[in-house]
């Protein structure tokens, strides 16, 4: 019996009781109102519900009295061993072993789809993250946003959302010209220009640019800067894409900022059109030869200039055009994952949404990630002043890096301990979880060699306390995935996997899948193999949501 099965049973019991208490009350009830959760103390049962306390007032009855009435009927339900009332009206439920154990077969048969749910079905989401300027390699901050953003994408998709991951390429603006000047200076053997980009990688790019454009240093200055900028831009962007691919991060959309500035057939750019559209909404006004957006109407601390008096658009103009462009492409909900230095963007982007006629509280989310550091990490030899993603990956490995970055909330500062992440011990969280998966695979291989298969499934034999605890936790996986997606907190999956790993290891220490010595193979051994394989599937599915591999041997 799954949690959703139990909720349906409770709903079926509650509806007639509510109707008896107050005519018409059953029509006000929905199945989603009947929630159950695992008690923190397993001695209290397998599941608990506070539905009696939630509905007692509307039904005009004492919560405990209503709970007793529900528990009396629930005790008669198939698969329920007991239903007891505790405190002011909690209902503690214990399932029969056969009903609880049935889940092992459900999970194995569901395979990779177990945990997937429809809690966000119908939502169309654009998720933008990383979006580093294409003028240098990705650094440690980008690494955290890459791991976190991709894991958010995975849990959103697993919960039924139609989600597209997007990288916004900041390939317009003065930083691109500075980039071109820096590469050209390196090609000429000149010092880095003031305010330019230092680092050995600029020299590497310069060599690659000269290889493609041998006459670069003999071109007129404007042509040379433009040529250096464009070739180096393409090379650097490709390096960023390859770094992310090695980190197991793939984007559905790579969106160029330049497209917002490009003129269409009517001679207007997307930015021009964005200003016109905001004006039509009544939120644009002219003052001091400049064009302003009345963003204070939507919580911003001041109105924003969208075009200066000299006719030059501000960065805010590109932000507005980009937001509108996302809506034009069919994305009704937009999520931005930004770095710790972008707090000022929150009110600005929400103001854009409001000025565009959207609901700033529901149609846009801005998640701010905090800083991350690594004990003992060295600055990049190529970039000089940053810690590169590629160096971190080569040092710690993709799995350790992604898991450790994914197991903490985005809004918490994080310091990684490389010595711990390189250990093959149980105090290393990623090793602990991956080892549990590898152990389930080893049990499966040894079972096959010993003649234990899944030809029989007798869930009533799963009576050991460690089996009840493991089954109870495995049932939680779909809820954990849905909650992680709703809250945009994939770290909940990581912490859950660590709990599953601990429960599996304790079960492994107490319950044998393979008989001892010459003992015969019984149904309990075959059924435990189902439970072993169910544990393996849940751990593998969870690791996949974090972009981490599930090794079969360690």
DSSP-assigned letters across all residues of 60-120: TS-HHHHHHHHHHHHTTSTTEEEEEEETTTEEEEEE-HHHHHHHHHHHHHHGGGTT---TT
Q: What is the pLDDT of residue 75?
A: 87
Q: Per-residue confidence at 176, pLDDT binned at 50, 70, 90? A: very high
Asked whether 10 and 51 are in contact (CB, 8 A), the reply is yes
User: Averaged over 228-246, what is the pLDDT?
Assistant: 98
Q: How would residue 348 be classed by pLDDT, with cut points 50, 70 and 90?
A: confident
Beta-sheet strand order (sheet of 90-95): 47-49, 90-95, 80-86
User: In the CATH hierarchy, which fold is given to the domain comprising 257-368?
Assistant: Rossmann fold (3.40.50)
Q: How far apart are CA 19 and CA 458, in angstroms?
A: 39
Listed by start position, the domains of the chain span 3-95, 174-246, 257-368, 424-545
Residue 542 is predicted with a pLDDT of 98
> What's the rounded Cα separation, in Å, for the pair 245 and 467?
39
User: Is the separation of the CB atoms in 164 and 127 below 8 Å?
Assistant: yes
Are 58 and 79 within 8 A, CB to CB? no
The helix-helix angle for 140-158 and 389-396 (nearest 10°) equals 70
User: Domain 424-545 is in which class?
Assistant: mainly alpha
The C-alpha atoms of residue 258 and residue 491 are separated, in whole angstroms, by 35
H/E segment holding residue 506: helix 491-510
* Residue ranges in 247-344 assigned as alpha helix (H): 258-261, 270-280, 315-328
Instruction: Decide: residue 76, CB within 10 A, 0-12 exposed, 13-18 middle, 19+ buried.
Output: exposed
Distance (Å) of CA 170 to CA 82, 88, 188, 319: 61, 58, 26, 11
Written as one string, the DSSP assignment of 318-370 is HHHHHHHHHHHTT-SEEEEEE-GGGTTHHHHHHHHHHHTTS-TTTSEEEEEPP
Helix axis angle, 200-212 to 221-246, nearest 10°: 110
List the beta bridge partners of residue 162. Answer: 124
Percent of the chain with pLDDT over 90: 79
Q: Is the pLDDT of residue 225 over 90?
A: yes
pLDDT band at 53 (very low <50, low <70, confident <90, very high): very high
Average pLDDT of the chain? 93
The per-residue pLDDT for 344 is 77
Neighbouring-strand partners of residue 337: 367
Read off the pLDDT of residues 361-391 as tens digits, 9 standing for 90 and up.
Answer: 999 999 998 888 888 887 777 777 789 999 9
Its sign, for the CA torsion 149, 155, 156, 161, is positive
Confidence of residue 194 (pLDDT cuts 50, 70, 90): very high
Q: Is the pLDDT of residue 3 over 90?
A: no
- State whether residue 167 is helix, strand or coil: strand
Span 268-322, pLDDT tens digits: 999 999 999 999 989 999 999 999 999 999 888 889 999 999 999 998 899 999 9
Task: Considering only residues 327 and 23, tell me which one the structure prediction assigns the higher pLDDT.
Answer: 327
**Percent of the chain at pLDDT exceeding 70:** 100
Q: Does domain 3-95 have CATH number 1.10.10.10?
A: no
pLDDT digits (tens, 9 = 90+) for 59-101: 999 999 999 999 999 989 988 999 999 999 999 998 888 888 9
Residue pLDDT, tens place only, 136-162: 999 998 999 999 999 999 999 999 999
What was the pLDDT predicted at 360?
Answer: 92
How far is Cα 126 from Cα 111, in angstroms, rounded to an integer? 28
Q: What tens digit of pLDDT does each residue of 515-544 get?
A: 998 899 999 999 999 999 999 999 999 999
């Amino acid at each position: 019996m799954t949690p959703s099965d139990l909720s349906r049973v409770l709903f079926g019991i509650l509806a007639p009781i509510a109707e008896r208490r107050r005519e018409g009350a059953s029509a006000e009830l929905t199945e989603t109102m009947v929630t159950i959760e695992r008690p923190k103390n397993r001695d209290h049962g397998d599941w608990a519900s506070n539905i009696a306390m939630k509905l007692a007032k509307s039904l005009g009855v004492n919560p405990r009295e209503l709970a007793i009435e529900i528990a009396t009927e629930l005790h008669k339900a198939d698969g329920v061993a007991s239903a007891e009332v505790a405190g002011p009206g909690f209902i503690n439920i214990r399932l029969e072993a056969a009903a609880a154990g049935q889940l092992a077969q459900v999970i194995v048969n569901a395979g990779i789809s177990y945990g997937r749910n429809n809690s966000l079905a119908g939502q169309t989401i654009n998720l933008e993250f990383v979006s580093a300027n294409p003028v240098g390699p990705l650094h440690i901050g980008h690494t955290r946003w890459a791991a976190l953003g991709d894991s958010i994408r995975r849990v959103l998709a697993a919960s039924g959302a139609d989600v597209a991951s997007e990288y916004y390429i900041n390939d317009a603006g003065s930083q691109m010209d500075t980039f071109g000047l820096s590469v050209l200076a390196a090609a000429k053997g000149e010092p880095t220009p003031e305010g330019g980009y230092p680092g050995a990688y600029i020299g590497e790019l310069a060599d690659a640019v000269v290889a493609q454009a041998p006459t670069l240093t003999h071109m007129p200055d404007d042509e040379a800067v433009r040529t250096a900028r464009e070739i180096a831009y393409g090379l650097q962007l490709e390096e960023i894409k390859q770094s992310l691919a090695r980190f197991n991060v793939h984007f559905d959309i790579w969106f160029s900022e330049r497209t917002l500035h490009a003129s269409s057939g009517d001679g207007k750019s997307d930015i021009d059109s964005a200003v016109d559209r905001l004006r039509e909404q009544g939120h644009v006004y002219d003052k001091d030869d400049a064009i302003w957006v009345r963003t204070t109407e939507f919580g911003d601390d001041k109105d924003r200039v969208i075009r200066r008096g000299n006719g030059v658009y501000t960065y805010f103009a590109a932000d507005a055009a980009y937001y509108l462009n996302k809506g034009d492409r069919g994305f009704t909900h937009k999520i931005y994952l930004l770095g710790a230095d972008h707090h000022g963007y929150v009110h600005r982007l929400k103001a854009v949404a409001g000025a565009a006629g959207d609901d700033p509280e529901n149609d846009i989310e801005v998640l701010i990630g905090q800083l991350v550091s690594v004990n003992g990490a060295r600055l990049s030899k190529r970039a000089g002043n940053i810690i590169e993603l590629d160096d971190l990956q080569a040092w710690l490995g993709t799995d350790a890096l992604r898991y450790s970055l994914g197991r903490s909330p985005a809004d918490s500062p994080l310091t990684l301990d490389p010595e711990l992440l390189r250990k093959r011990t149980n105090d290393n969280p990623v090793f602990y979880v991956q080892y549990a998966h590898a152990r389930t695979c080893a049990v499966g291989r040894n079972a096959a060699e010993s003649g234990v298969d899944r030809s029989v499934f007798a869930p009533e034999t799963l009576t050991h306390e460690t089996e009840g605890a493991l089954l109870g936790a495995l049932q939680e996986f779909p809820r954990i995935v849905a909650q992680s997606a709703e809250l945009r907190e994939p770290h909940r999956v990581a912490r859950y996997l660590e709990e599953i790993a601990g429960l599996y290891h304790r079960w492994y220490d107490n319950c044998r899948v393979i008989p001892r010595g010459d003992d015969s193979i019984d149904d309990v051994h075959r059924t435990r193999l189902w439970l072993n394989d169910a544990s393996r599937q849940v751990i593998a599915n969870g690791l996949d949501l974090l972009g981490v591999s599930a090794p079969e041997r360690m």
